[in-house]
Amino acid sequence: MTRELSYAEAVREALRQAMEQDPGVVLLGEDIGTYGGAFGVTDGLLEQFGPERVRDTPISEAAITGCAIGAALTGLRPVLEVQFMDFITLCMEQLVLQAAKIRYMFGGKAQVPLVLRTPAGAGTGAAAQHSESLEAWFVHVPGLKVVAPSTPRDAKGLLLASIRDPNPVVFVEHKLLYRTRGPVPEEPYELPLGRAEVKREGTDVTVVATSGMVPRALAAADRLAEEGVSVEVVDPRTLRPLDTDTILASVRKTGRVVVVYEGVKTLGVGAEIAARIAESDALYHLQAPVVRLGGAECPIPYNRNLERAAVPQEEDVVQAVRQVLAA
């Protein structure tokens, strides 16, 4: 049966069902127990599964990342919550130099089935050190999978798939999406990693949008439809491995493309997407240069107006679509 859940509830349901089905799934993180997680995602799980499996940790990001790796190497399936994506910078060595490389370095003799969940993104007025979208850093690392769901349904199915995946996954949740609602099947289900989804079909322009930018792209598409412009919105959902085929198929169809992502524009996820289009035969289908909309080249400022200006908004997507149409 399918009913409406919020994105946060969908993540929680995936955690609960994974823990019910597999006693090896344990949660680690700061304030995930009594507090229920900084964004309330793990609310109630301590009560259901006890402190053995829902572990509140001290503020020791490097150690708890390594702890999750060690547990993953030896039979558990840890899910680590990093309170804000910004703090993943404190996990970097363990994540990038250990978790990502162990299976390969050890000649395939070991696996690290670990999920690191973390909320990213601006829009909450939390300023420069609590608003980062750093997913591109991890997309750059062979040995890490990077997942970034944009709907409750995707969040649940992709998280269950990530937990059951034998390899380390960085699972990026977006703060502004936590309260958004949508249909979610009740039973456990997996959505395959590495598969994009066309969130809206269209014929004139392709908008490839990731994470928190997907609802903005869809809202822009609604507005443009009123002007008679048919926009196709593609959500990669997994950023590494990236489903290039679905993106290219859409570009071949529409011949015009806008790529929207929240991370800083330079070398962000959209840079890779644009490069893959340029490397393929889809290039010959383009009737206008690719337009990238990314985060401004600055830290996220506190002031509300500045903060809005630092991240692509619905209006920016509308303008960008008009720009590729005019070209």
Partner 1 sequence: MKTASLPTERLRAMLATMLLIRAFEEKAEELYGLGRVHGTMHLSIGQEAVAVGVCEALRPDDYILSTHRGHGHCLAKGADVRRMMAEFLGKETGYCRGRGGSMHIADVEGGNLGANGIVGGGLPIATGVGLSIQVRGSGQVCVAFFGDGAANEGAFHESVNLASIWDLPVVFVCENNQYAMSMPVRQSMRVERVSDRACAYGIPGRTVDGMDVLAVFEAASEAVERARAGGGPTLLECVTYRYRGHSKSDRQRYRTREEVARWRAQDPIERLRRLLEEQGLVQPGEFDALAAAAREQVEEAVRFAEASPEPDPSTLLEDVYA
Size of the site for partner 1 (CB under 8 A): 38
Given 30, 130, 135, 262, the catalytic residue: 130
97 binds partner 1 (CB under 8 A): no
3-class state of residue 75 by DSSP: coil
Choose, by CB under 8 A, the member of 13, 165, 272, 307 that binds partner 1: 307
Site size for ligand TPP (CB under 6 A) = 6
Identity at 188, one-letter amino acid code: P
Out of 9, 17, 29, 30, point to the residue binding ligand TPP (CB under 6 A): 30
| Single residue of 16, 24, 70, 87 touching partner 1 by CB under 8 A | 87
Q: Pattern 32-51, binding to partner 1, x per CB under 8 A?
A: -xxxx-x-------------
**CA dist., res. 236 & res. 233, Å (int):** 10
298 binds ligand TPP (CB under 6 A): no
| Catalytic site includes residue 285 | no
b/e map of 125-164 (b: 16 or more CB within 10 Å)?
A: ebeeebbbbbbbbbbebebbbbbbbbbbbbbbbbbbbbbb
Is residue 52 near partner 1 by the rule CB under 8 A? no
Strand partners, 116: 80, 170
Q: How far is CA 116 from CA 34, 163, 279, in A?
A: 20, 10, 32
3-state secondary structure at position 183: strand
Q: Which of these segments, 19-27, 231-239, 280-288, 302-310, binds partner 1 (CB under 8 A)?
A: 302-310
Q: Is 21 in the site for partner 1 (CB under 8 A)?
A: no
For residue 189, state whether it binds ligand TPP (rule: CB under 6 A): no
Helix (H), strand (E) at residue 156 = helix 152-164
DSSP 3-state assignment of 109?
Answer: coil
Task: Please pick, from the candidates 90, 127, 128, 267, the single residue that binds ligand TPP as defined by CB under 6 A.
Answer: 90
Q: Which helix (H) or strand (E) holds 92?
A: helix 92-92
Interface pick for ligand TPP out of 6, 17, 83, 210 (rule CB under 6 A)? 83
Give the one residue of 30, 154, 235, 243 binding partner 1; rule: CB under 8 A.
30
The listed partner (ligand TPP, partner 1, none) that binds 34, CB under 5 to 8 Å by sort, is partner 1
Q: Which one of the listed residues 13, 61, 135, 272 is annotated catalytic? A: 61
Does 59 help bind ligand TPP (rule: CB under 6 A)? yes
Q: Select from ligand TPP, partner 1, none the partner in contact with residue 165, using the beta carbon and a kind-dependent cut-off of 5 to 8 Å.
A: none
Q: How is 224-285 classified by DSSP, letter by letter?
A: HHHTT--EEEEE-SEEETT-HHHHHHHHHHHS-EEEEEEEESTTSHHHHHHHHHHHSGGGGG
The residue number with the shortest CB distance to ligand TPP is 87
Tokens standing for 318?
Answer: 């509308």
| Residue 77 bridge partners (DSSP) | 25
Closest CA to 213 of 201, 199, 203: 199
Cβ(315)–Cβ(321) below 8 Å: no
Query: If binding is defined by CB under 6 A, does position 132 make contact with ligand TPP?
Result: no
C-beta of 29: minimal distance to ligand TPP in Å? 10
**3 state SS of 104:** helix
Asked if 104 is part of the footprint of partner 1 (rule: CB under 8 A), the reply reads no
| Cα–Cα distance for residue pair 282/140, rounded to 1 Å | 24
Binding at 48: pick from partner 1, ligand TPP, none (beta carbon under 5-8 Å per type): none
| 314 catalytic per annotation | no
Residues at the site binding ligand TPP, with contacts judged by CB under 6 A: 30, 59, 61, 83, 87, 90
Residues at the site binding partner 1, with contacts judged by CB under 8 A: 30-31, 33-36, 38, 56, 58-63, 86-87, 90, 124-130, 296-299, 301-310
Q: Catalytic positions, please?
A: 61, 130
